[in-house]
Amino acid sequence: METAVLDRIKEGKEMLTSWMNHMHQTPELAMTETNTSKFIVERLREIGGWEIAEGIGKTGIVASMTVGNGSKSIGLRADFDALPIEETNELPYKSTIPGKAHLCGHDGHTTMLLGAAKYLAETKNFSGTVRLIFQPGEETMEGAPAMIANGLFESFPVDAVFGMHNMPGLELGKFYFNTGKFMAAVDNWEIEITGKGSHGSMPELGIDPIVCGSSLVLALQTIVSRNLSPWHNSVVNVGSFQSGIAGNAVPQKAVLRLSIRNMDPQDRKMVLDKVRKITKAQAESFNCEVEIREGIPGTVLVNAEEETHWAAEVAKKTFGAENVITDAHPYMGSEDFAFMLEKKKGNYCMVGNGDTYMVHHPQYVFDQQLLPVGARYWVALVENYLQ
């Protein structure tokens, strides 16, 4: 296990912590992270040595550095958007913005990449080109497609790209790898049901979208349980059902928000078709009108075999084989980094956040002990890839 570089990075942990605390206190939602983007750029300019490109995919940033005459290039990606969830932690650096919070650890991810930026700029112990990709809008699956559409890999070419996410429930500081399909494709849809408003004492004069929506929620649960083999992986989750404001009224509309996840393209097609058909049939049976608003089409995150084995070996050499798991179980969670891996070979791994609340929980906390660990992983990838 190599410790010298990690020890040096740990010497700057107070600075890393202050950077994360600032971002945690001032969260911004997907594709609106203007101030967060400015903060990242300011830190990169303070560090020095990086060629900085702003506004890639709206608020995205790419910082590049070339050292020596090496011909290879590597991309490292971190996300920096927050969630529309109220934080209930009593942290000294708790979110100061009502209804918004970094409850997925993206502030920690960005800090780890900034920590690597500082070390790499100071030591320049590599030969080739490093691209630090600071990406917005991961939570809505918008950021990676936006950066790619804005010419990310044409303007800032890389031979391989790597990503990383903290994960509660996995042992703190350990790294988890696997090849092939590692995270599911997600499709975030919204269904609006329109009925006919009425006084609650006279339901016969109205058409109740809540009753229709309730029946729809139950019907959607049969898609996976009765159409897919138990050996296949798929999820249809209704995470939001909003309708009405008074108990003595039949409302006019109901809105359901769905998160649909699949590991197989054919399963995905079947599941999405079933959602459409069942939704329309349920609406018709209750005499309601319905509109389905389909979000950005999802894609499965697939880790390249060669790059995954290589990254795992680098992690073993850096942190010790006992701290690296190479047969991690795939996740039904989703990541828009999958779109980057469709364009470039690479790997996405997990680093354990310990026994904490799950990401997206109001009491989730990113363990700040990971800040130097994650920074050290990024440095190790660069110094080994660009020898």
Structural domains in the chain, sorted by start: 4-182+301-385 (3.40.630.10), 185-294 (3.30.70.360)
**The two three-digit tokens of residue 102, written as one number:** 């970094």
At 174 the pLDDT is 98
* pLDDT tens per residue across span 205-219: 999 999 999 999 999
Rounded distance, CA 82 to CA 97, Å? 11
Are 9 and 375 in contact, with CB atoms under 8 Å apart? yes
Look at residue 310 and tell me whether its pLDDT is greater than 80: yes
**The two three-digit tokens of residue 43, written as one number:** 């830190």
Q: Which of 45, 6, 40, 34 is nearest to 20 (CA)?
A: 40
The DSSP output letter for 357 is: P
Confidence band of 1 (pLDDT split at 50, 70, 90): confident
Q: List, in sequence order, every beta strand (DSSP E) within 6-59.
A: 51-56
> In which element (H, E) is residue 191 found?
strand 185-194
In what side-by-side order are the strands of the sheet with 324-325?
51-56, 60-67, 128-135, 73-79, 160-167, 346-352, 175-176, 324-325
Rounded distance, CA 322 to CA 305, Å? 21
What is the full DSSP assignment across 60-102?
Answer: EEEEEEEETT---EEEEEEE--BBS-------TT---STT-B-
Q: At what angle do helices 106-123 and 34-47 cross, to 10 degrees?
A: 20
**The two three-digit tokens of residue 121, written as one number:** 């700029």
The whole-model pTM stands at 0.94
Confidence band of 3 (pLDDT split at 50, 70, 90): confident
Are 110 and 80 in contact, with CB atoms under 8 Å apart? yes
At 44 the pLDDT is 98
Average pLDDT over all residues of the chain: 97
Confidence band of 2 (pLDDT split at 50, 70, 90): confident
* pLDDT tens per residue across span 101-150: 999 999 999 999 999 999 999 999 999 999 999 999 999 999 999 999 99
Number of H helices, E strands in the chain: 12, 16
In what side-by-side order are the strands of the sheet with 234-242?
234-242, 253-262, 185-194, 289-294
